[in-house]
Amino acid sequence: MSGYYSSILQGALLTVGVSLCAMLVAVCLGIVGAWAKLSGSKLLVAVGTAYTTIIRGIPDLVLMLLVFYGGSIAVNTLLEMAGSEATLDINPFAAGVVTLGFIYGAYMTETFRGAMLAIPHGQTEAAAAYGMTPRQTFVRITAPQMVRYALPGFTNNWLVMIKATALISLIGLQEMTYLAKQASAATRSPFAFFLFTAALFLVYTWVSLVVLRRLNAKYSLGNKRVSF
């Protein structure tokens, strides 16, 4: 039994890797999406709105299966049309990271958009009056305050996304949920292994909350803190 628990712990490291990589993708997409929705351009606003509306309306599992299986079929069809006999299989890790990042990028878009709107517009006008470039204004004025306003929403999205990594087990990635399922099938003791996996998710949640609360305290100096 100890060998199965060790295997699940190794899969737990893979779960962390998927979560961190997916969140990096989500944050990048969220910043771009928020900028697009606040740009004032009708085209960019329409694209940003379509992205957040459609992605948030499709279940995570359905989108993941579409990316993994549909993407593989689409790529191999294009290769066949090009006259190539080679076939390409999509890596489950890459598919999981891209899918989760793409999904939660839509949620992060709204989180960052709300954070940017919470910053008084007069501050950016004052920065422009002092001769700051848009880049300097974003780095020195907008970004630090945006982090403070976005942290509660970011925390919620991060915690939900960690749990969503369990869905990647369905496309063959050997993270801890997948390994727990294999161990329970081999030993016929599903309760022990799934309870162990649930405990690991709770540990991730607790550690995440401790770290993010400290960040919230750092960025809330001199301001009323938001509890989460």
Residue 189 lies in a domain: yes
pLDDT per residue as tens digits for the range 215-227: 878 776 556 555 5
Q: Which structural domain range is residue 186 located in? A: 11-219
Residue 225 lies in a domain: no
Distances (CA, A) of 177 to 11, 16, 55, 189, 213: 8, 12, 25, 14, 27
Per-residue pLDDT band at 4 (split at 50, 70, 90):
confident
Would you tell me how many other CB atoms lie within 10 Å of the CB of residue 227?
Answer: 7
pLDDT of residue 225: 52
And the tokens for 44?
């960019």
Residue 139 lies in a domain: yes
Residue 228 lies in a domain: no
Residue 131 lies in a domain: yes
Q: What is the pTM of this model?
A: 0.83
The answer to whether 60 and 136 are in contact (CB under 8 A) is no
Over 80: is that where the pLDDT of 191 sits? Answer: yes
For the chain, the domain total comes to 1
Non-local CB neighbours of 223 within 8 Å, separated by 6+ positions: 148
Residue 197 lies in a domain: yes
| Average pLDDT for 180-203 | 86
